[in-house]
Amino acid sequence: MVRLARTTNWTPKYVSEEELFPTDMTDIFAIPISKWESFDEPYKVSYREYVKIQREKDVGAYSVKAALQRSEFYDKADPGWMAVLSAHYGGVCAVEFGSVSTQARMTRFGRRFCCN
């Protein structure tokens, strides 16, 4: 499969780069733009490859889900286990919120990059 180099770099026209990418939020190490532009992400996949990988993950996840449903774990579990699971899933929400917030910040304040 042949991959064509495609850059996603752009230059802002209506604001300065300093306004768009505040130094304290984007580049505290002062990495030059030339280094950012030469960065190559090793794990790039096409849409077709992504769909194939996700399909394989879904098959595995749904197999486990089906096995757990057949075992009737939730119907037969000790109330202590159910309390532990409730506490665990209650805490997962806070962690997920933190990861989404961090990902949104990286998306908004991330510097330019190249992709193939």
In a domain, 1, yes or no: no
In a domain, 30, yes or no: yes
In a domain, 14, yes or no: yes
In a domain, 75, yes or no: yes
> Where in the sequence is the domain holding 95, given as residue range(s)?
6-115
Cα(1)–Cα(4) distance, rounded to whole angstroms? Answer: 10
In a domain, 81, yes or no: yes
Domain total in the chain: 1
Q: What is the pLDDT of residues 18-62, one digit of tens each?
A: 788 777 777 777 777 777 777 776 667 788 888 899 999 999 999
Q: Look at residue 113 and tell me whether its pLDDT is greater than 80.
A: no
Q: Report yes or no: 114 and 3 within 8 Å, Cβ to Cβ.
A: no
Q: Report yes or no: 8 and 116 within 8 Å, Cβ to Cβ.
A: no
In a domain, 45, yes or no: yes
pTM of the model: 0.40
In a domain, 28, yes or no: yes
